[in-house]
Copies of this chain bind each other. A is one copy, B any other.
Amino acid sequence: MINTKTKLFGVIGHPVAHSLSPALHNWMLKHFDFNAVYVAFDIEPRLLRNAFKGMQAFGIAGLNVTLPHKASVVDYISFASPQVRHLGVANTIKYTESGLQGYVTDPYGFTESLGSQKEKFQDASVLILGAGGSAQSILYALKDLECSEIMLYNRTFEKALQLAAKASEQLGIGSVSVLHSEQLKDAVNDAEIIVNTTSIGMHPDTGNPLPFDGILKPSHFVYDLIYNPLQTPLLRMAEKAGASWQHGLGMLIFQGLRSLQIWTDTDVQLNSNDLELLTAHLIREMQNS
C-alpha cells in the first residue's frame, strides 16, 4: 500500500513505452519489501535539464537512464563514479541531499548475469560484435574477466577503431584487435566466446541475421544482449550448432539489481529461484505489451 513514506523511482528515456524496467523494478521492490514504486518517464532531450531540477525538488529517490540520455545526464550530476568518468555515460542516478550521484551498472549487469559461465572467460578469446555504448560496457566488464584476447567487429571499421583506442587509453585494455569484414569468419572460428552488442536480430527486425550460419561450433559460448526476442536468429544458430548461448534478460535484471542496491544502500541479492520467477514475470510482461 502506497503511503506518504513511499519512495519514487523511475526510468527516463525517449521513448520508454517498451521499457521492461517498471516491470523489473516493481517486482524487485515488492520482493525485497521496499516501500517504493517505479514508473517510466518519457522525457524529450530539451527537457532533460528541467527534469533533473525537478528530480532534486521532488526528492525522486532514483532514476535509471536509457537512450538517448545516457551521455547527456553526466552534465547534471554532482558526483560521478569512476566508471561514469571512464565510460562517459550513466544509467543510474541517485538522489542525495547534497546532490545527484551518477553510476553505470551495465558492466556489473553483464558480469553477474554470467553466473557459472564466468569461468569460461578466463584465458579465452572473445569476439565482440558492435562498437556502441553497450560494446563499451562489455569491454569494461571484460577487463576483470581475464580473457586472453579481445576482437572487435563493427560494420563501420572506424568506429571500432575508436572504441579500441579508447579502451586502450582510458580503460587500460591493451589487447583489442579490430577486424575487417573479411577477417570475421576466421575470428568466429578462433573465438571461444561471441558477444553481440548490436541491434541485429532485435524485435521487430528479426529477419536479417548475422552471417554466422554453419560456422558456429559446439565449443562456442554465444551471448546476445538482446532480450526481445529471447532467442535471436544468432542464438538459434548457436543452438543449432550445439553451442551454449545466453539471451540479454539476465544482464537487464542484474544491472537493475545493482541500481536498486545503490539507491537503497543495501546488498539485496537474487537467488536462483528468484531469478527464475523474475525471468518468467518479465517474459509474461513482454508477451503482454
CB 8 Å contact bits of A211-251 with B (1 = contact, 0 = none): 00000000000000000000000000000000000000000
Instruction: Report Cα–Cα, A12/B120, bound state, in Å.
Output: 52
Instruction: Report Cα–Cα, A38/B17, bound state, in Å.
Output: 20
**Chain A contact residues: helix, strand, loop or mixed:** mixed
Of the 9-residue stretches A42-50, A135-143, A148-156, A269-277, which lies at the interface with chain B?
A: A42-50
Q: Which of B4, B51, B59 contacts A17 (CB 8 A)?
A: B4
Interface residues on chain A, number (Cβ under 8 Å): 37
Q: Closest residue of chain B to A4, judged by CB? A: B40
Chain B residues within an 8 Å CB radius of A114:
none
Q: Closest residue of chain B to A27, judged by CB? A: B1
Given the known inter-chain contacts A3-B289, A4-B18, please indicate yes or no for A50 contacting B56, CB distance below 8 A. Answer: yes
B51–A8 CB distance below 8 A: no
Chain B residues within an 8 Å CB radius of A50:
50, 53-54, 56-57
Given the known inter-chain contacts A54-B54, A54-B58, A59-B42, please indicate yes or no for A22 contacting B47, CB distance below 8 A. Answer: no
Chain B residues within an 8 Å CB radius of A42:
59
A26 at the interface (CB under 8 A from B): yes
B51–A22 CB distance below 8 A: no
**A9-27 residues at the B interface, CB under 8 angstroms:** 10, 12, 16-19, 22-23, 26
A41 at the interface (CB under 8 A from B): yes
B8–A39 CB distance below 8 A: yes
Q: Which of B22, B51, B55 contacts A3 (CB 8 A)?
A: B22
Which 4 pairs from chain A and chain B are nearest by CB? A54-B54, A51-B57, A50-B57, A47-B57
